[in-house]
Amino acid sequence: MNIRTGLLLTIILIFNNALFGGEKVGLIEINGAIGPATASYVDRAIKVSEQENYKCLIIQLDTPGGLLDSTKDIVQSFYKSKVPIVVYVAPSGANAGSAGCFITLAADIAAMAPNTSIGAAHPVAVGGGMGDQKPDDTMKQKLENFATSYIEAIAVKRNRNVEWAKSAVKESASITSEKALELKVIEIIAKDTEDLLKQIDTREINGKQLKTVSAEVVNIPMILREKLFQVLWRPEVMLILMLIAIYGIIGELSNPGAIFPGVVGAIALILALYMAAILPVNLAGLALILLAIALFIMDVFAVTHGVLTAGGIISFVLGSIMLFDQAESAMRLSLSLIIPSAIVTAAFFTFVFGKGIKAQFLPAKTGKEAMKGKIAEAITEINGNSGKVFVDGEYWNAVSDSPIESGAPVEIIEMQGLILKVKPANKKG
């Protein structure tokens, strides 16, 4: 009997391995704010999962929120996907806030790790593009109504708690994973990925039964383009690009012909303006920063004793604070970045301005002023009508009120056209 049981178990194991041993699931991790790079990453991961015939795609999520435009792109990718999408809010302590709430509810299977949270989906800005300085009450209401209807449609489609979904937008409701399971916002609480695969095993998605209990988890990493874009689209990077643009352009204007600072500054400015077209930028804040750049440039050419530079610094600080004031908190510039940036900018322009002031008091190196006071050698006799001197490696015609012998040292009094007026070097007055 034991032998028969052993043989039966062996056969079952062999059959099981043959049937399911090659099963695979895709896995991507999203940490941080949701943006265009995230949407591109999710769309590509779905296509890879479809091509490789993965049983499902697991998206491990931890985000404070992000751009609504990018969130919509991700949700649309979910709807078009031929492979089941599992959104897993993890690890412990993770949060699916704002945009993350929309993404979690839109998944075929919504799961969370213990001690995680979801919600706070009230819209702050629609995202992508230069919006109004401050949304008025009408605009705010329109944004809220749109977000409410949008999350309601998602909840209805995925058969999840519609009322709570609406409250996440209207009241910024936020709940724990345990409460989310109780309210039927999610289906699963899993301690880790292995536990998740066990719990979703045999579930039916779009008429297909998942076989994931022994599936191999395949990580789908970001490609270089996505990584680069993920870095570039951040508000902090946009501010840094603006600083590089300021330093580069001013450096080129103050040192014509240097070329390198100008090229770097121009590239940085173009990238910064491109980011401004993607991010939820406050136009007033952007205008103040551009004004700061203009004031800095003007101070290079105008002697204002630092007045324009001081105005530029004030304009820059105010503009930086206002630049993303209508975006979600996760996408606003912090004072810990703005203040050091302002200090560095002030130091830079103080240096540039200081160099300019010092240059005003340096002795002239060319022209009439440069010749006055120099000591030259009389090459010929010099009188009131003619003579020649040798100075700075050149021969000059010279005249003098008193006769000067050849070979004697002379002091240049002034330059009259192309003729130098000189006097004996050993005489005063």
Q: State which of 361, 377, 401 marks the end of a domain.
A: 361
Give me the sheet containing 95-97, strands edge to edge: 95-97, 117-119, 174-176
Domain of 119: which CATH number?
Answer: 3.90.226.10
Q: State which of 325, 344, 361 marks the end of a domain.
A: 361
Nearest to 126 by CA among 268, 314, 279: 279
Residue 181 lies in a domain: yes
Alpha-carbon span 221 to 201, nearest angstrom: 24
- Helix, strand, or coil here: 375? strand
Give strand pairing partners of 377: 390, 409
Residues identified as active-site: 98, 142
Residues of the chain with pLDDT under 50: 1, 9-21, 125-134, 429
Residue 207 lies in a domain: yes
Nearest to 178 by CA among 169, 165, 188: 188
351 shares its domain with 371: no
- pLDDT for 305 equals 67
- Helix, strand, or coil here: 401? coil
Count of other CB atoms within 10 angstroms of residue 21: 12
Domain of 391: which CATH number?
Answer: 2.40.50.140
- pLDDT for 188 equals 97
385 shares its domain with 322: no
List, as own/partner pairs, every contact residues 298-303 make where C-beta atoms lie below 8 angstroms and the sequence separation is at least 24, other chains included: 299/349, 299/353, 300/250, 300/253, 300/254, 300/352, 300/356, 301/253, 303/356, 303/360
356 shares its domain with 389: no
Split into its structural domains, the chain has a count of 3
184 shares its domain with 52: yes
Residue 250 lies in a domain: yes
144 shares its domain with 102: yes
- pLDDT for 126 equals 42
Q: State which of 160, 194, 227 marks the end of a domain.
A: 227
212 shares its domain with 288: no
- pLDDT for 124 equals 62
Handedness of CA 68, 74, 77, 82 (dihedral sign): negative
318 shares its domain with 391: no
Q: What is the 3-state secondary structure (H, E, C) of 259-308?
A: CHHHHHHHHHHHHHHHHHHHCEEEHHHHHHHHHHHHHHHHHHHCCCCCHH
Q: Where are the alpha helices (DSSP H) in 133-259?
A: 137-157, 162-170, 177-182, 193-200, 224-232, 235-254
Residue 6 lies in a domain: no
pTM assigned to the model: 0.67
163 shares its domain with 212: yes
95 shares its domain with 210: yes
51 shares its domain with 102: yes
Residue 195 lies in a domain: yes
Strands (E) located in 72-135: 85-89, 95-97, 109-112, 117-119, 129-131
- Helix, strand, or coil here: 230? helix
Residue 2 lies in a domain: no
- pLDDT for 9 equals 47
Residue 1 lies in a domain: no
43 shares its domain with 170: yes
Q: What domain range includes position 165? A: 16-227
168 shares its domain with 222: yes
- pLDDT for 313 equals 83
